Structure 1
Amino acid sequence: MKLSKCHFKQLCLPLLLVTISQFAAIAQKTDTVITLNVNLNNTAQVIENIGASGCWFSEGIGKYWPAEKREAIARLLFSKQKDKQGNPMGIGLSAWRFNIGAGTTEQGDSSGIKDFRKRTECFLSPNGSYDWNKQAGYQFFLKKARDYGVETLIAFSNSPPVQFTRNGLGYKTEKDYTSNLKADAYNSYADFLAKVIRHFDQQGLHFSYISPVNEPQWDWSHPYKQADQEGSAWKNDEIYHVVKDLNSALNKEKLDTKILISEAGMLNYLYSGKGNSSSQIQHFFGPGSSLSVKALNHVPPVIAGHSYFTESNDSTLITTRTRLADTAKKYNVSYWESEYSMLADGFKEGAKGDRSAIDCALFLAKVIHADLTAGNATAWQFWNSYEPGSAEFNTRYYLIALKPQPDYKDGEFTVTKNLWALGHYSLFIRPGMIRVLTGVEHSADNKILISAWKDKNNKLVIVAINRGATDTSVKLGLANNKKAYKTLDTYLTTGDKDKNMQFSRGGYKSHVVLPARSISTLVIN
Structure 2
Amino acid sequence: MKHVVFLSAISLLCTLLVSADTVTNPPHVVQFTIDPATTHQQIDNFSASDGWSMQFIGKWPQHKQEQMADWLFSTENNTKGQPKGIGLSLWRFNIGAGSSEQGDASQIGSVWTRSECFLSADGTYDWTKQAGQRHFMQLAKKRGVDQFLGFILSAPVHWTQNGLATNTGRGATFNLKAQHYHDFARFMADVVEGIERTEGIRFNYISPFNEPDGHWNWVGPKQEGTAATNAEIARTVRLTGQEFARRNIDTRILVTESFDYNCMYRTHPYVRADRGYQIQSFFTRDSSLTYIGDVPNVPRLMAAHSYWTNTPLTDLKKIRQEMGEVLRAHRVRFWQTEVCIMNNDTEIGGGGGFDRSMKTALYVARIMHHDLVYANASAWQWWRSVATGDYKDGLILATPDETLVDGQFTDSKLMWTIGNFSRFIRPGAMRIHVTGRNNDPESATNQEGLMVSAYRNTDNSIVVVVINYSTDEQKIRMNLHRPRITFQPYLTDDVKGNDLKPIRTVQSGSVTSIPPRSVITFVAAQ
Q: Same fold by TM (over 0.5)?
A: yes
SS, match of residue 178 in structure 2: coil
After superposition, where does 1:60-459 map in structure 2 within 5 Å?
Answer: 60-63=56-59, 65-202=60-197, 203-220=199-216, 227-273=221-267, 275-290=273-288, 291-346=290-345, 348=347, 357-389=357-389, 396-440=392-436, 441=443, 446-459=448-461
2:491 aligned residue: 492
Q: CA deviation at 1:445?
A: 8.7
Cα contact 1:24–1:438 (8 A) shared by 2: no
CA–CA distance in 1 between the matches of 2:351 and 2:171? 37
Cα contact 1:25–1:438 (8 A) shared by 2: no
Describe the shift of the 1:279–1:429 C-alpha distance in structure 2 as closer, same or farther (beyond 3 A). same
The correspondence for 2:470, drawn from 465, 468, 492, is 468
The corresponding residue for 2:500 is 501
- Confirm or deny: 8 A CA contact 2:264 2:276 kept in the other structure: yes
Structure 1 Cα separation of the partners of residues 484 and 183 of structure 2? 57
Following the alignment from structure 2 to structure 1, what is the Cα–Cα distance between the partners of residues 212 and 445? 40
Contact between 1:313 and 1:349, CA under 8 Å: does it hold in 2? no
| 1:140 counterpart SS class | helix
Deviation per CA, 1:101-120: give whole Å up to 9, x if none: 00011111111100011110
**2:318 partner letter:** T
2:150 maps to amino acid: A
Q: CA deviation at 1:175?
A: 4.5
User: What SS class does the counterpart of residue 276 from structure 1 fall into?
Assistant: helix
Q: Secondary structure at the match of 2:310?
A: coil
Contact kept? 2:117, 2:129, Cα under 8 Å: yes
Q: 1:185 to 1:359 in 2, by over 3 A?
A: same
Maintained 8 Å contact 2:435/2:444: no
Tell me the equivalent position of 2:12: none
- Of 38, 42, 67, which residue of structure 2 is paired with 1:42? 38
Tell whether the 8 Å contact from 1:358 to 1:495 is kept in structure 2 after alignment: yes
Asked if 2 retains the 8 angstrom alpha-carbon contact of 1:171 and 1:220, the reply is no
Q: What's the offset of the Cα at 1:407?
A: 2.8
Higher mean C-alpha displacement, 450-459 vs 185-194: 450-459
Task: For 2:234, give the aligned amino acid.
Answer: Y
Question: Partners in 1 of 2:447 and 2:321 — Cα distance?
Answer: 23
CA 1:126–1:514 in structure 2 vs 1: closer, same or farther (change >3 Å)? Answer: same
- Give the Cα separation in 1 of the matches to 2:163 and 2:489: 54
Q: How far does residue 496 in structure 1 lie from its aligned partner after superposition?
A: 1.2
Which residue identity is paired with 2:297? H
Task: State the identity %.
Answer: 36
Q: Which whole-Å CA distance do the structure 1 matches of 2:136 and 2:155 have between them?
A: 22
Structure 2 segments unaligned to the other structure (5+ residues): 3-14, 437-442
- Deviation sequence 1:357-392 (CA, Å, 0-9, x none): 2100000100011100011101110000111246xx
Contact kept? 1:34, 1:443, Cα under 8 Å: no
Q: For 1:48 and 1:317, how far apart are their aligned partners in 2?
A: 23
More displaced, 167-176 or 367-376? 167-176
Question: 5+ unaligned residues in a row in structure 1: which ranges?
Answer: 3-22
Pairwise CA distance, 1:348: 2.2
**Partner deviation per Cα, 1:451-485 (whole Å, 9 max, x = no partner):** 00012343110011001111111112446xxx735
Give the partner amino acid of 1:121: E
Secondary structure of 1:523 counterpart:
strand
User: After superposition, what is the alpha-carbon deviation per residue over 1:125-165, rounded to whole angstroms, capped at 9, x for unaligned?
Assistant: 00011100000001012111112111310001000000010
Distance 1:485 1:86 in 2: 22
User: Given that residues 490 and 502 in structure 2 are in contact (C-alpha distance below 8 angstroms), is that contact kept between their aligned partners in structure 1?
Assistant: yes
Secondary structure at the aligned position of 2:410 is classed as strand
Rounded Cα–Cα distance in structure 1 between residues aligned with 2:17 and 2:522: 20
Counterpart for residue 5 of structure 1: none
Residues 488, 504 of structure 2: 8 Å contact kept: yes
Q: Is the 8 A contact 2:336 2:379 kept in 1?
A: yes
Q: Return the letter of the residue paired with 1:282.
A: Q
Q: 1:352 to 1:412 in 2, by over 3 A?
A: closer
For 1:435, give the aligned amino acid.
Answer: R
In 1, Cα distance between the equivalents of 2:166 and 2:420?
36
Displacement of 1:28 in angstroms is 8.4
Write the deviation string for residues 477-517 of structure 1: whole angstroms up to 9, x where unpaired.
446xxx73532111101111221111125252322221100
Q: Judging changes above 3 Å, is the alpha-carbon distance between structure 1 residues 476 and 230 closer, same or farther for their aligned structure 2 residues?
A: same
RCO (CA 8 Å, sep 6+): is it higher in 1 or 2?
1
User: Cα–Cα, structure 1 residues 452 and 222, in superposed 2: closer, same or farther, change >3 Å?
Assistant: closer
Indicate how the Cα distance of structure 1 residues 45 and 24 shifts in structure 2: closer, same or farther if over 3 A, else same: farther
Distance 2:53 2:418 in 1: 20
**Which amino acid in 1 is paired with 2:230?**
N
Alignment partners' CA distance in 1, 2:444 and 2:74: 35
Tell me if the contact between 1:385 and 1:400 (Cα under 8 Å) persists in the aligned partners. Answer: yes
| Superposed counterparts of 1:3-82, under 5 Å | 32-63=28-59, 65-82=60-77
Q: CA deviation at 1:345?
A: 3.0
Residues in 2 aligned to 1:94 and 1:34: alpha-carbon distance in whole angstroms? 34
**CA distance 1:310–1:24, shift in 2 (3 Å):** farther
What is the distance in 1 between the residues matched to 2:351 and 2:207?
38
Deviation at 1:251, TM superposition (A): 1.5
Q: In structure 2, give the amino acid aligned to 1:294.
A: G
* Residues 16 and 33, structure 2, Cα contact 8 Å, conserved in 1: no
CA distance in 2, matches of 1:353, 1:191: 40
CA RMSD of aligned residues (A): 2.5
Give the 3 Å change call, closer, same or farther, for CA 464–66 of structure 1 in structure 2.
Answer: same
Q: Which is worse superposed, 347-356 or 94-103?
A: 347-356
* Aligned residue type for 1:522: F
Equivalent pair of 1:486/1:508 in contact (CA under 8 Å): yes
Give me the TM-score of the superposition, normalised by structure 1: 0.89
Q: What is the CA distance between 1:277 and its match in structure 2?
A: 0.9
Cα separation, 2, equivalents of 1:160 and 1:437:
42
Query: How does the TM-score come out when normalised to structure 2?
Result: 0.89
Whole-angstrom distance in 1 between the partners of 2:303 and 2:346? 22
